[in-house]
């Protein structure tokens, strides 16, 4: 059982790197677009990176819960419970908050004619990026809790 647990921890750590690493740069990637052609390309790259975020995030949840079931004492540790609640909150932010705010941007990228970036994009992206930065802050708190295990 000890070896299996170590394998789960190994997968958990690599899932964090694979999932959270790209997640931290999703906003940065699209900020580099200076015209609509570059912006559309940036969003295609972002969508590709988001696949890593989803796969890594799913593996993180599965392996994190597996570690908890293999070692039930984790469910009595504040850092573990807090991390789990924060992670589930961050997962919920995607479909509840981020998706509705990204749909108008996607529509704008499809419908806008010309290579100039419309002012509407900047207004829409500012709101989206604010929530993405909040989600990144949540992930930084989770990583800190996982490393320090303060309570």
- Overall average pLDDT of the 59-83 stretch: 97
Dihedrals φ, ψ of 70, to 5°? Answer: -75, -30
d(CA 4, CA 10): 10
Q: Taking the mean position of all CA atoms in its chain, how far away is CA 147? A: 19
| Residue where the block lists tokens 């394998």 | 7
Kindly tell me if the per-residue pLDDT of 1 is higher than 90. Answer: no
Cβ–Cβ < 8 Å for 105, 125: yes
pLDDT in tens, 11-55: 999 999 999 999 999 999 999 889 999 999 999 999 999 999 999
The pLDDT value recorded for residue 32 is 86
- Overall average pLDDT of the 72-98 stretch: 96
d(CA 133, CA 65): 26
């Amino acid at each position: 059982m000890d070896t299996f647990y170590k394998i789960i921890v190994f997968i958990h750590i690599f899932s964090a790197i694979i999932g959270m690493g790209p997640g931290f740069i999703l906003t940065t990637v699209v900020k580099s677009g200076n015209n609509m052609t570059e912006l559309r390309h940036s969003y295609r790259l972002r969508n590709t990176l988001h696949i890593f975020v989803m796969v890594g995030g799913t593996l993180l949840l599965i392996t994190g819960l597996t570690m908890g079931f293999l070692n039930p004492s984790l469910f009595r540790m504040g850092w573990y419970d807090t991390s789990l609640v924060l992670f589930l909150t961050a997962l919920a932010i995607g479909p509840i908050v981020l998706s509705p705010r990204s749909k108008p941007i996607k529509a704008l990228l499809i419908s806008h004619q010309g290579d100039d970036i419309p002012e509407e994009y900047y207004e829409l992206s500012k709101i989206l990026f604010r929530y993405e930065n909040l989600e990144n802050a949540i992930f930084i708190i989770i990583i800190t809790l996982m490393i320090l295990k303060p309570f």
